[in-house]
Homo-oligomer: A and B are copies of this chain.
């Protein structure tokens, strides 16, 4: 066992939880070698499990966002939508959730009630039922208010046939909306920077209605999906490109970035494509239906900013290239380090 562990960092650092390169090293270098099973090795957002005659999809996530609430959302909503979206981008209809709560002694019960209410509302909106739960309390100073862990169980959409191996040169990259809103909203809410925005809100929501609409209409023409959360759009597309061994050629002008996000990123010197989203997804769609798929999303409330942002091309190895409106092209890399810890 131990021979397979390649992760040699001496201490856990914030970047190991940021969803970028360091997270990947921890997961691939330590967790998967020790726990490795067929399903875990796939490193998909949700695992497929055979129970009796049925296949279920299952996924889990802990939520440690700080602060607990922010414009457009709060911990309880993230805890539903984050898990529901991992099922959705795996092509599964979210059915039920479990909820495990870790509380810090001394927490005002009003905060707990507010977050549980937010979770209940989000679960109702997403059409999932909370079926089992657990509560633990640790001493004051041994946790940060509330941590929530949700596990989601879903059922594969009958028309879903998703797999990275199905992607081909010529396929299009469809993005469901603007990027960067969630991460920058949380960061501004912390008040550590002399920045504010009246209009910026987290994008947290269930993406299942959009995913379902695409699968209903186009079935296997939808080839792969992922929600660009921690690590942002750039990390998600790099993971795709590396595994698919293809070039992802992006047209930067097509990717919607709201002005406050662009402004904050410029000041902070970070790339909006590295910022976490909590209500968006990327789909690889066959060229034949790409424009129709874009139109379908744009016709749905909340889908108005959906856009075809790029094309897959043959390549020796995985790379994401981003062409600016002025013709220049830059390599878009995965996130390194963690500019914005604890955004979900």
B-binding residues in A (CB < 8 A):
1-2, 5, 7, 9-18, 23, 26-27, 30-31, 34-35, 37, 39-40, 46-47, 49, 51-56, 58-64, 66, 95-96, 98-109, 112-113, 116-117, 119-120, 123, 129-139, 141-144, 147, 149, 151, 153, 155, 341-342
Q: How far is the CA of A6 from the CA of B39 in the complex (A)?
A: 43
Q: Shortest distance in angstroms between A6's beta carbon and chain B's nearest beta carbon?
A: 12
Is the CB–CB distance between B60 and A99 below 8 Å? yes
Given contacts A30-B113, A116-B31, A147-B102, contact A137 B341 (CB under 8 A): yes
Is the CB–CB distance between B135 and A46 below 8 Å? no
Is the CB–CB distance between B60 and A151 below 8 Å? yes
Determine the residue in chain B with the shortest Cβ distance to A147.
B102
Count of identical protomers in the assembly: 2
Q: Shortest distance in angstroms between A57's beta carbon and chain B's nearest beta carbon?
A: 9
A51: contacting residue among B54, B105, B120, CB under 8 A: B54
Closest 8 CB pairs of A and B: A17-B137, A54-B54, A151-B151, A47-B131, A60-B98, A149-B149, A52-B54, A39-B131
Q: Interface of chain A, helix or strand or loop or mixed?
A: mixed
A105: contacting residue among B1, B13, B130, CB under 8 A: B13
Q: How far is the CA of A116 from the CA of B31 in the complex (A)?
A: 7
Q: Shortest distance in angstroms between A13's beta carbon and chain B's nearest beta carbon?
A: 6
| Chain B residues within 8 Å of A47, by CB | 96, 98, 131-132
Known: A12-B112, A14-B105. 10 other contacts (CB 8 A): A1-B120, A12-B105, A12-B137, A16-B137, A35-B120, A39-B131, A40-B129, A58-B131, A66-B142, A143-B144
Is the CB–CB distance between B40 and A133 below 8 Å? yes
The 18 sampled A-B contact pairs (Cβ below 8 Å) are A17-B137, A34-B117, A35-B119, A39-B96, A40-B129, A40-B131, A47-B131, A49-B153, A51-B54, A51-B56, A51-B155, A56-B153, A58-B96, A102-B149, A137-B341, A139-B144, A142-B144, A153-B153
Given contacts A35-B120, A54-B53, contact A62 B134 (CB under 8 A): yes
A109: contacting residue among B30, B35, B61, CB under 8 A: B30
